[in-house]
Each structure stands twice: as C-alpha cells, then as structure tokens.
Amino acid sequence: MGSKIKHDEKLVEEIASHYEAILRLIGEDPDREGLKKTPQRAAKALLDITSGYHSDPLAVARQAVFEHDGSQMVIVKDIEFYSTCEHHILPFFGKISIGYIPDGKIIGLSKLARIVDNFARRLQVQERLTSQVCLLLQEALPNKGVIVACEGEHLCMKMRGVEKQDSSTVTFDYCGDFAADGALRQEFMRLIGL
C-alpha cells in the first residue's frame, strides 16, 4: 500500500495457473505473444489489490496516536481508494472523507489513508468499507464521535449489467456525537462539500 509488494513466487505461479485456465476457457490462447506473461502479471495484480488481508488495520492505527487537548472536529477529506467488488470481481473506486472529534488524543493523518487502503484492498462492498473504517477509528482512538462518507463508482454498474455510466454511490457511517447531533453531521457534510 504505497510501496512495492514482494510476492511469494510459489503463490504467484499457483494463481497464474488458474488465470491460464480461464484464458483457455474464454477461447483465448495463453501461448500467443501478447498473453504469454499475462497469467503471472494478473496473479501479481490480484495479490496487490487484495493485500489488505495481510495487514492489521488496528495495529496500523495505533502506531500514531498522540496527546491533544483540542476537542474540535478533525477532517481528512477526499482520500482516494481503489477496491474490488466481491460480487463481480470488478473494480470500484472513489473517495472517502473521515471526521472525528478528539477526546484527548489524535491520530497521525497518514494513518487514516493507510486504514482506508487496508480495508479497500480486499474483496469488498462499499457499505462494508465505510462501516469498517468508522468502527476501526472508534476502537483505535479515544473520541467523542467518528463519521465517514464514501463516494464510489462501480465498474460492475458501468461496464456490465445496467451499464449506467454516470452513476455513483454515496455511503455514510457515524457514531458518538455524530449519531446524536444532526447539526454536527450537516456541518461535516458542508465542510466536505456533500
């Protein structure tokens, strides 16, 4: 996530053999020039886009929690993410904005992006991704409330099925003061431009 991933070559070859079989099943020749290395490249790509299974997001979050006396909302907006729909194994992507109200501690800003990547780099649905980020921050950081907004575009809706090119999906999750105070939720939405 953000750095080059080292792959287990035995695992790459095992996954590649399945991609080679899939190429044959759809009527392609995996031995033709343009496809000779495709199974290995696809295997490595699959391992990259599912690398979130091999990281502990709670440990990541707890690496950078710091004392802070303030109690006003902190927002990191427009954290881009790329994920894979668990229903069709097709990409979905977009941006996540996170807000929280500190309660004696704050988290390093880059850790918020790493948490998003950790959950996005799995087979996912947007609703769960949004909820996982919110719940993790609620657990990892003393706070008075957490709110997460996610806007995504899904290739399973754009390139197959209903083929709606301009559709996007917005999901929210929140807890604490954001659950109790509608005005606070509205302030967050206004500040992130939703």
In which band, very low, low, confident or very high, does the pLDDT at 127 lie, cut at 50, 70 and 90?
very high
The sheet with strand 91-102 has its strands ordered as 123-124, 74-85, 91-102, 143-154, 169-176
* pLDDT given for residue 81 in this prediction: 98
Both structure tokens of 193 = 């431009």
- Give the mean model confidence (pLDDT) for residues 152-162: 86
Domain 9-49 indexed as CATH 1.10.286.10: yes
* pLDDT given for residue 57 in this prediction: 94
How far is the C-alpha of 137 from the C-alpha of 188, rounded, in Å? Answer: 17
pLDDT over 50 at 70, yes or no: yes
pLDDT over 70 at 3, yes or no: no
Q: Which residues are known catalytic residues?
A: 85-88, 126, 154, 156
pLDDT over 90 at 170, yes or no: yes
Which CATH code is given to the segment(s) 59-192? 3.30.1130.10
Other beta carbons within 10 angstroms of residue 141's beta carbon come to: 20
How far is the C-alpha of 64 from the C-alpha of 100, rounded, in Å? Answer: 15
DSSP assignment of the chain equals --SPPP--HHHHHHHHHHHHHHHHHTT--TTSGGGTTHHHHHHHHHHHHTGGGGS-HHHHHHTTEEE----S-EEEEEEEEEEEETTTS-EEEEEEEEEEEESSEEE-HHHHHHHHHHHHSSEE-HHHHHHHHHHHHHHHS-EEEEEEEEEEEEHHHHSSTT--TT--EEEEEEEEHHHH-HHHHHHHHHHHT-
Q: Where are the domains of the chain?
A: 9-49, 59-192
* pLDDT given for residue 4 in this prediction: 61
In which band, very low, low, confident or very high, does the pLDDT at 186 lie, cut at 50, 70 and 90?
very high
Q: Which residues pair with 173 in a beta bridge?
A: 148
* pLDDT given for residue 1 in this prediction: 47
Are 9 and 40 in contact, with CB atoms under 8 Å apart? no
pLDDT tens-digit series, residues 99-115: 999 999 999 999 999 99
- Give the mean model confidence (pLDDT) for residues 30-36: 95
Are 77 and 192 in contact, with CB atoms under 8 Å apart? yes
Closest of 164, 144, 145 to residue 154, by C-alpha = 164
- Give the mean model confidence (pLDDT) for residues 31-59: 95
In which band, very low, low, confident or very high, does the pLDDT at 126 lie, cut at 50, 70 and 90?
very high
Mean pLDDT computed over every residue of the chain: 94
